[in-house]
Structure 1
Amino acid sequence: MPVTLLNPDGLMKTDVYRQVAISTGTRQVHIAGQVAYDADGQLVARGDLAGQVAQAYRNVGIALAAAGATFSDVVRLTFYVVDWKRELMPEFLAGIEQVARESRITPAPASLIGVSVLFEPGVLVEIEATAILD
């Protein structure tokens, strides 16, 4: 396994993501920002952050699989969320938990960045991923 994830002593402990990813692989996979579009290019879960997080996460999984990777190979996730405020955390996490029930998600190091707008009205979240493969 080319990726080791950990939360070292002295840093906040969390089950949602890991603070550190150590990778030894040689093949990098960079997934462009994924949003809540279905295969037909239609926005899923308009106005529903949890639903859009879940669909965007599923799309990341599809992109990873196309590269021969899984969430276990991910060393970095970046989430961009429109009009982010801490009060949205339960809804945000509900979307992740929804996908976690469907497939195995490894809690890689992640950043959540609040933005005022994404590229299209109605899109609430965008997820980028980086994975390492041997």
Structure 2
Amino acid sequence: MPIQHINPPGLLQFDAMSQVVVASGGRTVYIAGQSASDVNFEVVGGNDYYAQSVQALRNLRTAVEAAGGSVENIVSSTVYLKNLTPEIAGRFLEALAIACEGKSFPPHAFSLIGVASLAGADLLVEITAVAVIDAAVAA
């Protein structure tokens, strides 16, 4: 069964997001919060929301690939942004546009949540996700 992306009339529509994602017939994978940390828990990207977002999305890609999938299999994510403002949200959306080797991260259902802090004092971004692997992606 395929992963189906739906953007119903009457709801906000933009290229980076699907309002509804329907998935069946595959393994469900739950991915822990991915931040801009490297394997030594050192922050990549300094105090830059864009750079940290790119690294967190790359770490998310690494995690889903370790489970045997790809970013196209991600059906939902929750993005936690420290001290969220419209400008900070914009920096994250800019990172989405280039996070996959210069290409846009595939659309999926996601929410942006503002938080006061994350696990590390220097972390600005954390992303949890759900993927359905072994399901075909419908065009």
Q: How high is the TM-score relative to the length of structure 2?
A: 0.88
Moved over 3 A (4+): 100-104
**Consecutive unaligned residues in structure 2, runs of 5 or more:** 135-139
Q: 1:13 to 1:104 in 2, by over 3 A?
A: closer
- Give, in whole Å, the separation in 1 of the partners of 2:119 and 2:89: 22
SS in 2 for 1:9: coil
Offset from partner CA, 1:25-62 (integer Å, 9 cap, x none): 23110100000012333210110000000000000000
- Give, in whole Å, the separation in 2 of the partners of 1:129 and 1:14: 20
More helix by share: 1
- Percent identity, aligned pairs only, is 37
1:35 aligns with 2:29: no
Equivalent residue number for residue 47 of structure 2? 47
> 8 Å contact 1:3–1:74 — kept in the other structure?
no
Count residues in correspondence.
134
- Give, in whole Å, the separation in 2 of the partners of 1:25 and 1:132: 8
Equivalent position amino acid for 1:110 in 2: F
1:133 aligns with 2:133: yes
Report the RMSD for the aligned CA atoms in angstroms.
Answer: 1.6
Deviates more, 1:3-12 or 1:77-86: 3-12
Equivalent residue number for residue 85 of structure 2? 85
Deviates more, 1:110-119 or 1:100-109: 100-109
